[in-house]
A and B are shown apart, each in its own frame.
Chain A
Amino acid sequence: MAVHGSRCAACKYLRRRCPQDCIFSPHFPSSNPQRFAYVHRIYGASNVGKMLERIALLKLDGFENDQRVPEFERSHVADSLHFEAKCRIEDPVYGCVGFISRLEHQIHSIESEIAMTRALMMMYESSLNRQKGGPSEH
């Protein structure tokens, strides 16, 4: 097990050697120790490693398959875990679900505004049509 020149943030945090094939090192560089601290606090190192390593494809053709996470997807896994962990630390009750709720509320509000604007336009249009269709001059 060769040792890198410098350990990644995860291995530093976990006080262990950082192997060359360390699953954490591409996504938790030593320059950003906070990033791993967040995910470790919420998910734990073992769960993060599992999520980086494998995707369980549920109900694929009627059975579960474990597949390795493609390399290019792992950075997305790490980034999304970091984002969710950060949200959870900042808002321990709702985490990133608070975001989702606020967005859904915002969508609902904008849709109501659009409906009101369109209704207003229809109202003026019908009022104008009534004026035009007023007493006809023979």
Chain B
Amino acid sequence: MSSSSNNNSYNSPCAACKFLRRKCLAGCIFAPYFPPEEPQKFVNVHKIFGASNVTKLLNELLPHQREDAVNSLAYEAEARVRDPVYGCVGAISFLQRQVQRLQKELDAANADLIRYACNTGIPSSALQPAETASMQPILPPVNTRRTHPAAAFAAGSIGDDNGGGFFQPPPYSLPWDDNLSGDIDAGGE
């Protein structure tokens, strides 16, 4: 029996160590998050962030935070590979415009409902219009004149000084949980 107490070679090396052509040791920080079945995940992350930067980032986090951190890094890296100019910011800009459009649609639907009620004499107390106040945009509103993602965030409309600071998992699914983003899949080849 070989003295491989520090060597993970009895298991397949993780995707990171395979890519970096090094031994995958027992305490490898990448191994839990970059399985060998998903090589592309590490390829993208390494291409955009670099292995040493990822190591530093992970070392600054608690162990239970690292999986989500790696998944978000992989998501950002893939977005950047697909869109080398805007990366994730392109998606953010698109989604903000969608929020604006839908908010207008909601306002119009509520106005129609109230107008309908007035015309038909339905008591307003019987109405339960959607609480538009509850739908305050979480992020600062996007100026509709700025359709260019670059202009949007350069002008500070994408979360300027409103950045995360969130260290807890959000109470809703993440893009990699149920593939909300459809084609962005951090899986391997």
Query: Mostly helix, strand, loop or mixed at chain A's interface?
Result: helix
Nearest residue (CB) in B for A113 is B130
Residues of A within 8 A of B154 (CB): 79
- Encoded as 1 (CB less than 8 Å from any A CB) or 0, chain B from 64 to 93 comes to 010011001101100011101111111110
A121 to B115, CA, bound (A): 10
Residues of A within 8 A of B116 (CB): 121, 124-125
Residues of B within 8 A of A58 (CB): 81-82
Residues of A within 8 A of B129 (CB): 117
Chain B interface residues toward A at CB < 8 A: 48-50, 52-53, 57, 60-61, 65, 68-69, 72-73, 75-76, 80-82, 84-92, 95-96, 98-99, 102-103, 105-106, 109-110, 112-113, 116-117, 120, 122, 127-130, 135, 137-139, 149-150, 153-154, 158-159, 163-167, 169-170, 172-175, 180-181
A-B contact pairs, 10 of them (CB 8 A): A42-B53, A43-B53, A51-B84, A58-B82, A84-B89, A91-B166, A93-B167, A95-B164, A106-B99, A117-B110
Chain A interface residues toward B at CB < 8 A: 42-44, 46-47, 51, 55-56, 58, 69, 73, 75-77, 79-81, 83-84, 86-88, 90-107, 109-111, 113-114, 116-118, 120-121, 124-125, 128
